Chain A
Amino acid sequence: MSSTPGKNYLNEKSGLWSWLTTLDHKRIGIMYMISVLSFFFIGGVFAMLMRLELFAPGALFEGNTYNQMMTYHGTIMTFMVIIPGVPAFIGNFVLPLLLGAKDVAFPRVNLMSWYCLMVGAAISFLTLFFGGVDTGWTFYTPYSIQTNGTVLMVLGAFVMGFSSILTGLNFIVTVHKLRAPGMDFFKMPLMVWALYSTAIIQVLATPVLAITLLLLASEKLLGVGVFDPALGGDPVLFQHFFWFYSHPAVYIMILPAMGIISELLTTFSKKTIFGYRAIAFSSVGIAAVSFFVWGHHMFVSGQSELAGVIFSFITMLVGVPTAIKTFNWVATLYKGSIEFRSPMLYALGFIFLFTIGGVTGIILATLATDVHFHDTYFVVAHFHYVMVGGTLMAITGGIFYWFPKMFGKMYSEFWAQMSFLFVFSGFNITFFPQFILGATGMPRRYHQYLPEFTSLNQISSIGSWTIGIGFLIALGVIIHGLLKGEKAPKNPWGGLTLEWTADSPPIHENFETTPVVTAGPYEYGR
């Protein structure tokens, strides 16, 4: 196809309809960006309201309302923000660019995955008009069968699962079939390895969630009783099924974020990544191990002691590939020429927070200590350190990193750094006290607490406002950059991966001529 000067994927066609029917992976990525950021805003509002309630318990909401807000916060943030956040949004935009391809393997399937997310989200939000759902995002039986609204919510999650499956399927085939000439598996950027490992989890784990949710819905609609003890069923089986998906799902959330971090760290330290193969294989390793650790969510659910010991052991194994990544990242920084640009700040923040989240995960994986920490705020703090301190920091860093490529504009570096300052400090103010709260015995998921927990809870709530300000600044930076940003060059950061050889923003087919790859992705000083 011809490449008219001044034409790019953004202005090639215009009108809302051209977006809603687009098959261009970059446009679909941008549509995912808009949806994911909107959901993030809604989920964030629920979080702020919960923290507000916990600032002065009983002053604002009743227990039921609080439980519903907690459920919507969890459901929105997992199914609509973090799971599609990296693969479907950032991955969609960058994967073909990183591979030197013109598009993903199945562009129509790609568009369909976006519609699946939208339809599923709409169905989930419908529950708000039918009295809401207050089961928590885990939908544990038997309670979830007794309440109304579960079926709709579960149906929504089912449809959103298709979105995830289709994205994963598309990425696996794209990585196998659409690499640029000369790019063998070990010349792929580490982001691609991460997305590929994620895609494997999406494809293999999500169907199990689908059948679990179908069984849950038929439990409610047809009374099948598979999870109902009164009919001979077993509620613990639901937990097994649910975590068989939902534990690998946390690696759907973190693995691609780790991929982003690998890209950011090399580019901004201008140094070949340390241990390329180790990082690449550790992604696949985490994906593989992720399927055998689900039982650590159920140490106190009455599974056998032997199962508990085995799951505890395998869970600790996850620490190995994760530590391999972290040490390699730190080694990459060593003697690099580090530039503290905003994406780099987010990447460094990731390493700091994710390490805390990871190490507290080992504490929770230990059988004896988990009995003490189970269902306390310690767990809440732990997974927020990983999901927010890890994944959301990586997503924000990734947005600032690829923003010039996405829109051909630069943004205000100063304010981007300010957003980091607020998010990072606010995050620690919010969640570090929760480790102490949990360790001293405050259970999670309650709208009230004993008086001795007051001051730490209030500190935590103040922190949540700081995070809120930080993300609002980041949003402002994005909008300001879109409207008033200077024109971005092809390669503002001096990155060596293929996307930086394309125009900013890229043309419809990404590259004028298909790139031919001769060297590894990070060969600085070549």
Chain B
Amino acid sequence: MSDSSSPSNKHHHAHHFDSAEHEFDASKFGIWVFLCTEILMFGGLFVGYIFYSGKYPEIFEAGSQFLDWKLGAINTAVLLLSSFTIAISIRNIQMKQKKAAMRNMIITLVCGLVFMGIKYKEYTHKFHQGIYPGKYFNYQPHGAEHSSKDANSHGESKGEHGKVEHMDSLPENIALYFSFYFVMTGIHGTHVIIGMGLILWCLIRTRNDEFGPEYYTPLEGAALFWHLVDLVWIYLFPLLYLI
């Protein structure tokens, strides 16, 4: 950040590696191992999801009616685009196209912001309806409709309202669905924010000329992480929205 005075992308490898390639290989391997731990962690949530959706399919079916699949689809598209742009930015670095690399990283970051913005919208809308996880769930089919109209004058969820009105009686323990919804998307959202932080850091380092064809390991790692975050969402979207 401050040491932009030395524009050199000559990276000296650490003393315990034979060469820069050796270090790059090891680092990339390490990142892949780390991604395995991420998959195992989300795996726990998916196992829980499978267990409960098998046990109470009606809860998950009813719960998903409260989500707007269009918003989920937009977010899926946004993340897919961002995965593409971050991959291209690595190619740009390899081709010494600093400007283009930075532009692609910025597009990735904007995509991340759009994703989080839409998530924020979805969350606040649910909170206005009284949809909270587990024991704090206090959605009232009629009372909540008023409050949601008051709080949310935008018609962003017209489709949802139509469906919700038909459901006079919600299945027992429907809050369990929202427990999974909030925990899964919450942890995923945390990963999106961390990923954005990593990409921002790479953006700054690119601006400071620290990356070049010989050395771009952090960007490679951040991009792999971002792809994983994208991949997790690709599973979350159908599991939560498209039941």
Of B108-116, B121-129, B143-151, B169-177, which binds chain A?
B169-177
Cα of A423 to Cα of B136 in the assembled complex, Å? 53
User: Is A48 part of the binding interface, using a Cβ–Cβ cutoff of 8 Å?
Assistant: no
Q: Are A223 and B173 in contact (CB under 8 A)?
A: no
Known: A207-B37, A226-B176. A215 touches B48 (CB 8 A): yes
Minimum Cβ distance to chain B for residue A176 (Å): 6
Of A11-19, A120-128, A167-175, A252-260, which binds chain B?
A167-175
Cα of A105 to Cα of B18 in the assembled complex, Å? 12
Which B residues lie within 8 Å of A499 (CB)? none
Per-position contact with A for B24-48: 1 when CB-CB < 8 Å, else 0?
0111011001101110111111011
Q: Are B44 and A207 in contact (CB under 8 A)?
A: yes
Residues of B1-53 contacting chain A, CB below 8 A: 14-17, 22, 25-27, 29-30, 33-34, 36-38, 40-45, 47-48, 51-52
Residues of B80-99 contacting chain A, CB below 8 A: none
Known: A178-B16, A178-B26. A231 touches B135 (CB 8 A): yes
Cα of A435 to Cα of B202 in the assembled complex, Å? 59
Known: A208-B41, A208-B43, A218-B183. A231 touches B173 (CB 8 A): yes
Cα of A222 to Cα of B37 in the assembled complex, Å? 25
User: Is A195 part of the binding interface, using a Cβ–Cβ cutoff of 8 Å?
Assistant: no
Per-position contact with B for A1-23: 1 when CB-CB < 8 Å, else 0?
10000000000000000000000
Interface hub of A103, A173, A218 (most chain B Cβ within 10 A)? A173
Minimum Cβ distance to chain A for residue B59 (Å): 7
Cα of A22 to Cα of B22 in the assembled complex, Å? 23
User: Is A524 part of the binding interface, using a Cβ–Cβ cutoff of 8 Å?
Assistant: no
User: Is A214 part of the binding interface, using a Cβ–Cβ cutoff of 8 Å?
Assistant: yes
Interface hub of A105, A212, A231, A232 (most chain B Cβ within 10 A)? A232
User: Is A228 part of the binding interface, using a Cβ–Cβ cutoff of 8 Å?
Assistant: yes
Minimum Cβ distance to chain A for residue B45 (Å): 6
Minimum CB distance partner of A101 in chain B: B16
User: Is A28 part of the binding interface, using a Cβ–Cβ cutoff of 8 Å?
Assistant: no
What's the tally of chain A residues with a CB closer than 8 Å to chain B? Answer: 46
Per-position contact with A for B51-64: 1 when CB-CB < 8 Å, else 0?
11001100100000
Task: Please count the residue pairs between chain A and chain B whose beta carbons lie under 8 angstroms apart in the complex.
Answer: 132
Minimum Cβ distance to chain A for residue B177 (Å): 9
Which B residues lie within 8 Å of A204 (CB)? 36-37, 40
Which A residues lie within 8 Å of B66 (CB)? none
User: Is A289 part of the binding interface, using a Cβ–Cβ cutoff of 8 Å?
Assistant: no
User: Is A177 part of the binding interface, using a Cβ–Cβ cutoff of 8 Å?
Assistant: yes
- Categorize the interface residue count of chain B: 35 or more
Which A residues lie within 8 Å of B16 (CB)? 96, 101-105, 107, 178, 509
Q: Are B44 and A176 in contact (CB under 8 A)?
A: no
Q: Are A169 and B15 in contact (CB under 8 A)?
A: no
Known: A105-B26, A231-B135, A233-B176. A226 touches B41 (CB 8 A): no
Q: Are B40 and A224 in contact (CB under 8 A)?
A: no
Known: A232-B172, A232-B176. A224 touches B133 (CB 8 A): yes
Minimum CB distance partner of A103 in chain B: B16
Which B residues lie within 8 Å of A101 (CB)? 16
Q: Are B38 and A207 in contact (CB under 8 A)?
A: yes
The 7 closest A-B pairs by CB, nearest first: A232-B173, A211-B44, A223-B135, A225-B134, A224-B179, A102-B16, A207-B41
Can you report 9 residue pairs joining A to B where beta carbons are below 8 Å apart?
A169-B33, A172-B33, A205-B40, A211-B42, A222-B133, A222-B182, A225-B173, A226-B52, A509-B15
**Known interface pairs A211-B42, A225-B133, A226-B176; 8 further A-B residue pairs with C-beta atoms within 8 A, sorted by A's residue number:** A102-B16, A169-B30, A170-B30, A203-B36, A204-B36, A222-B133, A225-B173, A241-B47
- A residues near B, CB below 8 A? 1, 96, 101-107, 109, 165, 169-170, 172-173, 176-178, 203-208, 210-212, 214-215, 218-219, 222-226, 228, 230-234, 237, 241, 244, 509
- B residues near A, CB below 8 A? 14-17, 22, 25-27, 29-30, 33-34, 36-38, 40-45, 47-48, 51-52, 55-56, 59, 132-136, 172-173, 175-176, 179-180, 182-183, 187
